Every structure is written in structure tokens, then in C-alpha cells.
Amino acid sequence: MKTVNKYLIAATVAFFPFAAPMAASAADQFGAIAYSQQSQHYGWSVNMNSQNEAENAAMNQCYNYGSDCKDIWFSNACGALAIGSDGGWGMNWGENSTQAENKAIAQCNNVSKDCKVEFTKCTDNVH
């Protein structure tokens, strides 16, 4: 966790009062989901500082079980994985969990049948 010098913030606000709302806003958070159709295992990450960090964390978890991992990343949002009864799958993201799940099911239904959401993950700053 980063520490912030409170005197630096106070000086910044005093000289640049218009910057105060920006200083209070949360930084972007990234997440990713990786899935191996071969092994039917997945990896995931949320609340990472960059797209690269999120994808690497999810892919590393997935690669523990399969070599055919595919991933999707998201920022300040949710990601979902849906799997069909015949092993087809879909992953997608959305501004909230419902949107991500609906999009993942729709993507899965394009290649499979009886698709159901396996799981959904959201960054902490999703409202």
C-alpha cells in the first residue's frame, strides 16, 4: 500500500484547490479472468494496478492446470465466465455483474448450449 505525505497533499490543495476532487478519487483497478477449456480450470485477479499485472496473475493461475488458457481483462468493472453443457464457454466484462454475466452467457450461447455463469469477479470500485 502506498503511503502519502499529508503535508504534500495539504500544500497541493492550498495552491491548487481545483485539484482536491481529483486527489480524492480512486485509482483505476484492473482485473482479469483466464480459462483453459482443455482442463476446465481458471484463474482470476482483481484490484490490480495495471492491465498487465491483472492478466499475468490470472494467466499464471490458469497455467497451473492447462496450457490453452485464454483471458479477458477489465478495468473498474466486472468480468464473468459462462460454461455450456458441452464444454463451450464465453467470457466478457460489464459495468456491473449483471451486465458482465449476460454478455458472457450470450457469448457462450454462440458456441455452446445450456450456458451458465461459472463465476463473476468485480473490482472494488464498481458501484
The model's confidence at residue 26, banded by pLDDT at 50, 70 and 90, is low
Domain assignment of residue 110, yes or no: yes
The Cα–Cα gap between 35 and 44 comes to 9
Domain assignment of residue 6, yes or no: no
Domain assignment of residue 75, yes or no: yes
Domain assignment of residue 96, yes or no: yes
- Per-residue pLDDT tens digits for 57-105: 999 999 999 899 999 999 999 999 999 999 899 999 999 999 999 999 9
Domain that holds residue 81: 28-122
Domain assignment of residue 2, yes or no: no
The Cα–Cα gap between 90 and 98 comes to 15
Domain assignment of residue 17, yes or no: no
Q: Are 83 and 108 in contact (CB under 8 A)?
A: yes
The model's confidence at residue 30, banded by pLDDT at 50, 70 and 90, is very high
The Cα–Cα gap between 127 and 2 comes to 23
Domain assignment of residue 12, yes or no: no
Overall number of domains in the chain = 1
